[in-house]
Structure 1
Amino acid sequence: MIRIVIALSLLVGALDFRYYRRRMRSRRRGVRVPFIVFAAATDLLPLIAGGLFGLLPDNSTATVAAAMWLFYVYLLTVLPRLAFYFFQHFGLARTGAAAAGLTAVLLVWGAVYARTSYAVNEVEVRSERLPEGFDGLRIVHFSDLHIGTLVHPEREMKRLVRTVDALRPDLVVFTGDLVNIRYTELDSAAMRILSQLRAPLGVVSNIGNHDTGVYVKDTLALPVEVNTDSLVARQRRMGWRLPDNETEYLVRGGDTITLSGISFDPAFRRERHDRNVGMNIGATYEGVSRTPYNITLSHLPQLWDRIRELGYGDLTLSGHVHAMQIKARIGKWRFSPARLFYKRWSGRYDEEGSTLYINDGIGYVGFPMRLGAYPEITVITLRR
């Protein structure tokens, strides 16, 4: 992400300089100076802010939220300029101005409306391996809440709970990144709200990379292990179950299936966005028969190939990607910046009788905005 921001800043800076030389240099001082100040301030904003935040001893929740909004302001000032410069290059200045205005409107719409406009997606997954007792099982899947970056956390979580409850799930699963930086984001108010999630087969949670404390700078004050253990303990106090690299058994109608949870390994922090992540996941299935139908919760969708190689994951549920909070769809064609980095990045994938579903998440990181990649709640119905 840092490399992308630096490249974007250099690109926009070069285009600003080009526009200044061609269009602004001959203008009067009262026009030239404000342009120079505005362009320089906005082009350098992420670099200056990044340097200042880098000097802070720790990443507090307030600091990260401030950085997120500063980056949004940066996008709001830079992306419309890029749209204008593109059309202006072809002599279409008026079209460029209109494109710049439309870009700004979309960015504001994404932050004000789309950011909290839930999409409830219904998915049916069929498998001959599913036992009769689980035919018709309704799983409600959500992911990536990132409590610390929610603008109105209590309001947004209450709405989430109401929405999930109205879907009448048999099982609720959450696939990681409950918090953004540290376990204290799951405070007493958040615990009280989220503990209201109910389902006959319970609420099962997964540990994501943001849950492990790897983004805490002052690890002397809050060691990674203490952060993770504290977050797990608070979730269990809410009544949630967390299979931590282990497998549990679900019983319904006299039949049994297995439910496995793969926790993110902090040692693989730098690989979290790679197309392939070399985590050793064998312990999760140790002593577990391959005969029963298996549901695996894995925050990282990149582990799906390895899960299937081991003979599990009839259904694998993941999050992590958020579709990078930007997604366009035309018919069956989909595009997101995420597809440049991930082999599988949003929605449903079927291969060799197994299904992977990547939920686009509820919260947001980097910038408080979603375009096309609406916060998602998935209802998965299992069928024989």
Structure 2
Amino acid sequence: MLLFLVIPLLGAAAILADVLRFRRLRLQHRPVAPLRMLWCGVTDLIPVAVPLAGLVVSDNTTGYMAAVMWLVWIWMLTVLPRLVYYIFRLLHLRRTGIVLACGIAAALIWGATLGRTDVHVSRVEVCSPRLPAGFDGMRIVQLSDMHLGTIVSPERELTRIVDSVNAMRPELVIFTGDLVNIRASELDGQAVRLLRRIEAPVVSVTGNHDVGSYIKDTVSLPRERSLADLLAAQRAMGWRVLDDETLYLHRGGDSISLSGVSFDPALRKQRHDSELEATNLDRVYAGVPDSLYNLTAVHLPQLWEQITARGYGDLTLAGHVHAMQFKVRLFGRAWSPAAWLYERWSGRYDEQGRTLYINDGTGYVAYPMRLGAWPEVTLFTLKRCE
């Protein structure tokens, strides 16, 4: 992931800056507080310590991944403002550096508190002449990327999500993958109890985290068993898991198709690539008339072009990217580092009468923070238009 390429580089820059700064202070015979040196040294070395710990631990347990997530955030909070301050001090703009450093620290704290938990509802109207009259006005909610294993306050955060969904009174909820972070057991009794409160029928597909991609100790817990347990748990709480299959929705005497594309474990290492070769789409759309309006739920947005090339995906719902949990919004436009990796990374895209929507998700990985890319619940209203 891009984040884990940038962090070591910034970490190395911080270490170098601190070494040079402390050396200069010594040369000028100024006293240097040992605790300050220790604090800088410890925080600078987090990008080194985390990968080393990953080599030592036998498995990516839920607790370990949560600890890593917070360590990365602590590094961001303590090192990034300091780096900014050093740069502006070098430019003889010390006061500016202090203000900017404090602003960055405040933003990081905001992102890890209100930014992480404040659910935003996006309302999207999708119009198509292919939509049957019977489905005109149908309301569908999309959820994505909960990453249950890393949720800090499950009771509060899941309650907010579920209440937001129920308040919109959708006829259908579509979940587009990454329900858990590492293993099936993260969908525990508390999560099941809260998610069962969703009043509308729920259809789901799997994401790269759901299939056990990050389980290290596959002897104790084979990835296939974790996936099977997760699918069974979802079905037990009333969710309909679309495992490379299509079902038909009926309303007002008309029909449309709803297809679900499972995450292919063979794509685990290529999950962030801009071009992917999907091997399961023939199964997904086998026997499905392309004359019907088609909804497709898929985790990876990179598969959209392959879906539409087959004549499906009038509306395709995806997740996966999270906008890297960081989005700058300015003058009605938005930007995220995700744009360096993905051609389509957040929100709505329309091409040749078909629509892709990438939901920013509600959970978080790598660090327990969201800035600009707020937790998202999306309400779609389908409209028939000529």
Distance 2:122 2:254 in 1: 27
Distance 2:32 2:22 in 1: 14
Shift of 1:25: 4.1
The amino acid of 1:122's aligned partner reads: R
1:231 matched residue in structure 2: 230
Shift of 1:221: 1.1
Instruction: Quickly say closer, same or farther: Cα 1:23–1:94, change in 2 above 3 A.
Output: farther
Check if 1:210 corresponds to 2:209. Answer: yes
| Identical residues among aligned pairs (%) | 52
Check if 1:8 corresponds to 2:10. Answer: yes
1:268 matched residue in structure 2: 267
Shift of 1:30: 3.2
2:64 matched residue in structure 1: 63
Q: Do the aligned residues in 1 keep the contact of 2:26 with 2:32 (CA within 8 Å)?
A: no
Q: Do the aligned residues in 1 keep the contact of 2:22 with 2:32 (CA within 8 Å)?
A: no
Q: Do the aligned residues in 1 keep the contact of 2:210 with 2:227 (CA within 8 Å)?
A: yes
2:332 matched residue in structure 1: 332
SS in 2 for 1:122: strand
SS in 2 for 1:350: strand
Which stretch shows the higher mean deviation, 280-289 or 310-319?
A: 280-289
Check if 1:359 corresponds to 2:345. Answer: no
SS in 1 for 2:288: coil
Shift of 1:43: 1.4
Distance 1:109 1:333 in 2: 21
Distance 1:174 1:180 in 2: 15
2:294 matched residue in structure 1: 294
Shift of 1:117: 0.5
Distance 1:8 1:303 in 2: 33
1:310 matched residue in structure 2: 310
Distance 1:221 1:187 in 2: 19
Q: Do the aligned residues in 1 keep the contact of 2:11 with 2:45 (CA within 8 Å)?
A: yes
Which stretch shows the higher mean deviation, 120-129 or 1-10?
A: 1-10
Distance 2:23 2:108 in 1: 29
1:285 matched residue in structure 2: 285
Taking the TM superposition and a 5 Å limit, the aligned residue runs for 1:102-181 are 102-181=103-182
Shift of 1:24: 6.0
Shift of 1:83: 1.8
Shift of 1:19: 3.6
Shift of 1:341: 0.8
The amino acid of 2:207's aligned partner reads: G
Any stretches of 5+ residues in structure 1 without a counterpart?
none
Check if 1:38 corresponds to 2:39. Answer: yes
In the TM superposition, what whole-angstrom CA distance separates every residue of 1:16-54 from its partner, at most 9, and x where no partner exists?
Answer: 3344455564252334x4443333221111211321232
2:258 matched residue in structure 1: 259
Distance 2:328 2:192 in 1: 35
2:186 matched residue in structure 1: 185
SS in 1 for 2:289: coil
- TM-score if structure 2 supplies the norm length? 0.95
Shift of 1:368: 0.4
The amino acid of 2:378's aligned partner reads: T
Distance 2:29 2:188 in 1: 56
The amino acid of 2:139's aligned partner reads: R
1:95 matched residue in structure 2: 96
> How many residues were matched structurally?
381
Check if 1:377 corresponds to 2:359. Answer: no
The amino acid of 1:287's aligned partner reads: G
Distance 2:289 2:70 in 1: 48
Distance 1:138 1:173 in 2: 11
SS in 1 for 2:382: strand
Instruction: Quickly say closer, same or farther: Cα 1:57–1:318, change in 2 above 3 A.
Output: same
- TM-score if structure 1 supplies the norm length? 0.96
Distance 2:144 2:273 in 1: 20
1:322 matched residue in structure 2: 322
SS in 2 for 1:345: coil
Distance 1:167 1:27 in 2: 66
Shift of 1:342: 0.8
SS in 1 for 2:240: coil
Q: Do the aligned residues in 1 keep the contact of 2:85 with 2:100 (CA within 8 Å)?
A: yes
Check if 1:249 corresponds to 2:251. Answer: no
The amino acid of 1:159's aligned partner reads: R
SS in 2 for 1:247: strand
In the TM superposition, what whole-angstrom CA distance separates every residue of 1:216-244 from its partner, at most 9, and x where no partner exists?
Answer: 11111111111111100100011111111
**Which 4+ residue blocks in structure 1 deviate beyond 6 angstroms?**
none
SS in 1 for 2:162: helix
Distance 1:360 1:25 in 2: 50
Distance 2:275 2:111 in 1: 31
Shift of 1:198: 2.0
